[in-house]
Structure 1
Amino acid sequence: MRSVLLACAVAGAMAQAGVAGAQAPAALAPAAAPSSFGHYQPPKTYNSQIRQSFYVRMRDGTRLAVTVARPAVDGKPAEGRFPVIWHHTLSATQEAADGTGPRAAGFRSIPGLTDYGYVVVQVARRGNGQSFGTMRGYHERNEDADAYEMIDWLADQPWSNGIVGQYGCSNTGDAAVHAMTGGNPHLKAVFAGCFSWNKYDAMRRGGIFAQWGTGPTRTIEQDMAIPPIDGDENKVMLRKAAEEHQRATPLFELWKSLPYRDSWAPSVQSTFWAEGSASSYANQMRRSGTALYVVGGWRDELRDQGLITFLNIPGTRILIGDWLHCQNDGFGLVEEAHRFFDRHLKGIDTGIDRDPPIHYYTVGADEWRSATQWPLPQAPQTSFAITAKGLESGAAKPAPLTTSFAVDYATPCVGEGGGPTMQPCHPKGAGFSVAGKALAAPVEVTGHGLADVWIAADTPDANLFLLLEDVAPDGSVKVVTEGRLKASLRKTDKAPWALPGLPWHRAYAEDAQMLKPGEPVRMQFDLMPTSYVWAKGHRIQFTFAGSDYRERARSANSQPARITLISDAAHPSSVSLPIVKP
C-alpha cells in the first residue's frame, strides 16, 4: 500500500495543466525541420529534465520500478501534457548490463528526447532490477500483460496526452515487440532493434545451441549494486526485490532443456519457444495497427529475425547497418527514432512516409542503399557447385568430390571477445574450405545464401556450420556471414509465416532423423543475410566445420571426430548466393 500511495503522491506532485488526447492527430502537421534518413534535428523546446522514480503496483500486487523523465525549463517541470515514450527494460536506471548499456549507443540516448517535448519512462520488468516479482522464462505472457497495464497507466497520468510509443534493443527490443501483441490502443509506435521473431529460430538456430545470449541471470549481490528508487536509499526494498528474483528459472538451464521447437519445459509449465515468440501472436500484432521500425546489424546474431518480421507485419520499416548487436556506429539513430516518433506520436510530417521502407548499408561499397521489397528483385540466386576443382558456377558436369575433414572442438576464436561481440571465425587447421577463382570484377551479395549439401558421419548426429568468406590476394580470410544446421533436424517443412525464400525446419521431436554410419544425408539451410562487396582480385570461399567456439551444452551424440562432405552426380552439393546484377 505504501508503494501505491507513493506512486499517487508522485503523480499528483507532477501534475500540470493541459488537455489530454487519446489519439494521434488525423492530419499531419507541417514538418518542423528539413528531414531525411538519419538526419532530423528540429530545435529543442526544453533545456532540462526532471526525473523521479517510484513503484507502480500491477494487477497481481507485483510492484514495478519506474523512472519518469519529464521536459523541464531551467529545472522546473514544463506545463502541459506530452506523448510518452517508454522502455520495458531490466532496471529503472539504465544499467550497463541491461542490454542498452554503453554498447547500445543511440538506444541509450533516447531519454534525451525530453528536450523535444516527450516524457520518457524506464520500467524494470518484473523479476529484474529494482522491480519485484520473479521471471518466468523470457518474454513470457505475464510480462506482456504488464506491458498492457503499464501502457494504460502511462496514458492516464496527468503529464501524458494518452499517446504512447515504446523502444528497446536486444531483450528490450523483444519486450517492445511483445507489447504490440496486446493491442493496447494507446500504443502508436514501436522502435525496436535486434530482437527475435521466433525464439527457437533465434536461440537454437538450426537446432544448435550456439549463440551468445541466454538473458539475465544475476546474483543478489549484482542486484544490490544498482541504484535504488527514490526514497529507498537504504536499499530495504531493493533487497526484498533481489531476493524474489532468485526464484527464477535460470535461462541457460531453461533453453538447454528445450532441444526441439515443441519441447515442454516443466520448470515453466509451457512449450516455451511458442509462448515466448512474437511469431505466435502475429495476427494480434497486425491487428494492433502499431507502427513498427526495426533496427539491425549485419554482424548481429539476430539480423534475419528483423527482416522476417518486416515480411510478416505490414507497414514495418527496417534499417540494417554494418554493426554488431545494438550498435549504430556512424549513424544518427536517435535522430531517426525521433523522426519516427514525431510522425506517429505527434502527427508531424517528418518525410519518413515518403522514404522506402528498407535502408541497408552495403559493406565494401561503403554506402547506404534503400529498397521497397525483400529479397531484392535485382539479386537472383546464383548457384556455386562444390567440386574437386573448387567452386564452379554453371558447370554441366562438376568434378565429383568426397572429402573428410576433422572437427576441432577445442580451438578458441582468439580476439573475438565475448557476449554480443562474439562472431564466427575461420577455423584454421580444421574444417574444409573451397574457393572460387579470383574475381575479374567486384561482386555484390545482398540477401540470404542457400546451402544444399550432402554429408555423412559415424555418429548419431552432427552439427554442420557453413561460413561465407572473403579471401584477399594476400591469403587473409574474413568471415562475411554464416549458417548452420543439426543433421538430425534436417527435415524441411512449410513455414507458418512468410520467409524470404528460405528452407524451414519444423524441428519437432518427432521430426528428428538420426544418422546411420557413413550414409549420406541432404542438408538444406540458409545463411544469415548480408550486403557485402567482394573486391576485384578477391575470392569467394565457403568453409565447412563441425563445431563453433560459441557452442554451448554440446550433445555427445553430435560430436563426430570427422565429417564427410560429398558432391557428385547422385549427391550434388552447392551453395547459392543472391548476387546483385551489375
Structure 2
Amino acid sequence: MKSSAIALAAALSAAATALPALAAPPSNFGAYAPKALYSQQVATSFYLPMRDGTKIAISLHRPAVNGKPVDTRLPVIWHHTLDIEKTGVRETGAAQSLTDLTRAGYVVAIVARRGNGASFGVRRGYEDFTEGFDAYEITEWLAAQPWSDGKIGMYGCSNTGEAVMHAMIARPPHLKAAFAGCFAWERYDGHTRGGIISQYGTGPTRTLEDDLKATPVQGDEDRTLLRQAAEEHQKSTNLLELMKSMPYRDSWSPLVMAKFWGEVSIGAYLSQLKASNVPLYIQGGWYDDFRTEGLIAQANLPDQARIVIGPWRHCLNNGFDLRAEQLRFFDHYLKGEATGIETDAPIHYFTIGAPKGQEWRSTDRWPRPDARNALFLDAGALKPKPATKTAATSVTVDYAPACPPDPVQPNWGPFAQPCHPAKASFVYSGPVLKADTEMTGSPLADLWISSTAPEQPVFAYLEDVAPDGSVTVVSEGRQRASLRKVVTAPWDTIGTPWRRAWTEDHHPLKAGEPVRVSFDMLAVSYVFKAGHRVRIAVSGAEPRERARVETSPPPTLTLHTGGDTPSSVILPVRSAP
C-alpha cells in the first residue's frame, strides 16, 4: 500500500505511522431524522430554591397540543448555562434553540447557574463543588416531577460543557446521558495550557448594568428580583484574577480559599466518572483549543464516551447537522430506541483537505505519536537526522506580535485562530511535497532553548505553506519553559508529554544555559497538498496571550539544534487509506 508520506520521506526518510483501519461513518451519522411528535410547546420560568436557600432560575419548555402541555411523562434534557435564554444558539445548522427538542418528545429545562442570569447567589468560580451539588439537586428534582419519566439528559458546550461533566462527577442517579462539547478535561492544562494563561475562560466579569440585561423569570416583569440577584453577583470572583493567583497546578488561591485547579479539574475525578456509567457524547472542532482535551476525555472513558470532531470553531458545527446526532444519542439512551449509535465506532472525525466524499472517518482509538516520524531542525530545514554539530540562533522576543484581522473574530476575541509569528520567530521548512500527505494525530515539539530571562514562554506552530507563499497555521502548542519537567500523568494523555507543574517543579532558566522543553501541539487531521511545504515556526510571544509578564528590555531567545541539543518535531504522518 503506497504511503502518502513517500514525498516527504524521499527527502527526510520519514516513516508513516500505522493506524487502525479507517472506516466510513454509518449511513445515519449526522442524518438521523426521527418523526416530529409535537408542533407546539409551552414555556414557563420560575425560581427553584437550592439546599442553602439560593434561588435558581429555570425556564421549562414542555411539548403541547392545542396550547396545553401534554400530560404524558417524558424524558428531560437540561442545560446548566448562564441565562435562561442561553439555549445552545451558537450551533450552526441548528438555528432553532435547544428548546426545540420538545418537537421530538422531550421536556427541556434551561437553568441559569448560581451567580449568573436571573439566578441568585455568587459565582465562586466556574464549576466548583457548589455548582456540582446544584446539578445533582436539579437533576433529581427534574426526575421527580409528574411530567418527567425519570430519565434525564444534559447538554452543554464550552463552560456549560464543563458543567455537564461536573454533573456526571456528582453522580445524580437519574442522569442517563450527557452531551458535552469543547471543554477542558484538566482545567490547568485546558485554561493555562503549558502554564500560560490562554485567551479564553477569563470571563464573564460583568457590571451591574450587564447583569440587568439578563432574562427575568415570569412574574418579575418589573425586574425587582433580577436586580436583587444582579447585586449579589457583584461579589463573584474575577476569573482572570483567579487564574493569575494560581500559576501552578497546586497553587492555593486566597480568592476562593482553595487549591482550585484540583477542585474543578474533571480528570481528578476519573473514578467517579467511570462509576457514574453515564454515556457521554463529546463535541470537538479542529479550530477549537479544546480538541485534544476532548480526545483525552474519550480515551479515559473508552467504555462510555464517543467523540465527533469536525472542521469547526468553538461550539460551532458548520455544514453538519449536530442536532441530528444529539437526537440519535438521546433517543437511544433516554428512549431506548435503536438509532445505530450503539454499534458505531467511538470516534468520528473529519480530515481537512481529504478527497471529497472521504472527509469523514471513524476509528476505535486515536493514534499515538510515533518517534519514527521525528524530523530535526537544522539550518532552516526539517531533516531526518540531527546535525552532528551544535548550532544556535537567537532573536529578540517581540512583545507586540501582530496578526492580520481574523475573518470570524476581527477583534481577536477568545476564539480567534493563531497566525504565523512573522517577527522574532524561527522557521524550519520541509521540501516541496510531491504527493498529498495526511497528518492525523498529535504533533510534538521537542526543543532546546535558552533565554536571557528566567521566565520564557515557547510557542510552536505547524504550518502549511502554499506555492504562492500563503501560510495556514494547522496547529500550535505552548509551554512555559520554567515548568518543563515531564512526568507520567495520572490519566491517559494519548501519548502526549505531561507536566505536573507543581510549585516545586518550577525551575527558572539560567541565562545562556540550554534546557529541553517538550510539549504537544493540538491534535490534527489534515492533508498537506502536493506542491505545498510543511513548516515549523517557533516564537517567544503570541498575540493571544493573557497576562503576559514582560521584561525590559525584551529577552533574547535562543534555539539550539544539532549535537547534544537536537531540537526536533514528531509529525503524525499516516499511511494512505
Matches within 5 A, 1:428-447: 428-447=422-441
5 Å-filtered alignment, 1:128-527, equals: 128-314=116-302, 315-365=304-354, 367-375=359-367, 382-388=373-379, 390-393=381-384, 395=385, 397=387, 400-416=390-406, 417=409, 418-527=412-521
- In structure 1, the partner of 2:563 is 569
Q: Distance in 2 between matches of 1:398 and 1:195?
A: 43
Residue by residue over 1:99-146, the C-alpha shift from the partner in whole angstroms, topping out at 9 and shown as x without a partner, is x44466649632211011100100000000000000111110000000
Aligned residue pair count: 543
1:51 is aligned to 43
TM-superposed CA distance for 1:353, in Å, is 1.2
Tell me the distance in 1 between the aligned counterparts of 2:547 and 2:386: 43
Partner of 1:533: 527
Residues 230 and 35 (structure 1), Cα distance of their counterparts in 2 relative to 1, 3 Å cut: farther
Secondary structure of 2:287's aligned partner: coil
Equivalent residues of 2:464, 2:535 under 8 A apart: yes
Q: Is the 8 A contact 1:448 1:529 kept in 2?
A: yes
SS at match of 2:102: helix
Q: Deviations over 1:136-172 (max 9, x none)?
A: 1111000000000001100011110010000000010
Partners of 1:503 and 1:436 lie apart in 2 by 24
Equivalent residues of 2:402, 2:421 under 8 A apart? no
| 1:119 counterpart = 2:119 | no
Distance 1:213 1:414 in 2: 23
Gaps of 5+ in 1: 1-33
Q: Please, what TM-score do these two structures have when normalized by structure 2? A: 0.91
Paired with 2:82 and 2:443, the residues of 1 have a C-alpha distance of: 35
CA distance in 2, matches of 1:319, 1:107: 19
Q: Secondary structure at 2:571's aligned position in 1? A: strand
SS at match of 2:313: coil
Distance in 2 (alpha carbons) for counterparts of 1:362 and 1:282: 30
How far apart in 2 are the matches of 1:179 and 1:310? 17
Q: Is the 8 A contact 1:381 1:578 kept in 2?
A: no
**Hey, what's the Cα distance between the residues in 1 that align with 2:55 and 2:267?**
29
Contact 1:462 1:560 in 2 (8 A): no
| Aligned partner of 1:82 among 60, 65, 74 | 74
Structure 2: give runs of 5+ residues left out of the alignment. Answer: 1-25
Matches of 1:580 and 1:486, distance apart in 2: 30
Give SS of 1:180's match.
helix
TM-score, normalised on structure 1? Answer: 0.90
Contact 2:386-2:563 within 8 A present in 1 as well: no
**Residue deviations 1:449-472, cap 9 Å, x none?**
111110111111211000000000
CA distance in 1, matches of 2:567, 2:48: 58
In 1, Cα distance between the equivalents of 2:460 and 2:300?
27
Q: Which moved more, 1:212-221 or 1:114-123?
A: 212-221
Work out the percentage of aligned pairs sharing the same amino acid. Answer: 51
Separation of aligned partners in 2, 1:151 and 1:495? 32
Q: Which amino acid aligns with 1:410?
A: A
What is the distance in 1 between the residues matched to 2:553 and 2:492?
33
Q: Which amino acid aligns with 2:560?
A: I
Q: What SS does the aligned partner of 1:323 have?
A: strand
Q: C-alpha distance in 2, partners of 1:553/1:420?
A: 14
Residue 578 in 1 paired to residue 572 in 2?
A: yes
User: In the superposition, relative to structure 1, how do residues 222 and 559 fare at CA in structure 2: closer, same or farther (>3 Å)?
Assistant: farther
Q: Contact conserved, 1:493 with 1:506, CA < 8 A, in 2?
A: yes
Aligned partners of 2:374, 2:152: CA distance in 1, in Å? 47
Please state if 1:550 is matched with 2:571.
Answer: no
Matches of 1:503 and 1:530, distance apart in 2:
16
1:72 and 2:64 matched:
yes
Q: Give yes or no for contact 2:81–2:113 (8 Å, CA) kept in 1.
A: yes
1:405 to partner: Cα distance: 2.1
Q: CA deviation at 1:481?
A: 0.4
Matches for 1:6-25 after TM superposition, within 5 Å: none
| 2:32–2:324 Cα contact (<8 Å) kept | yes
1:545 is displaced (CA, Å) by 0.5
Distance 1:559 1:354, change over 3 A: farther
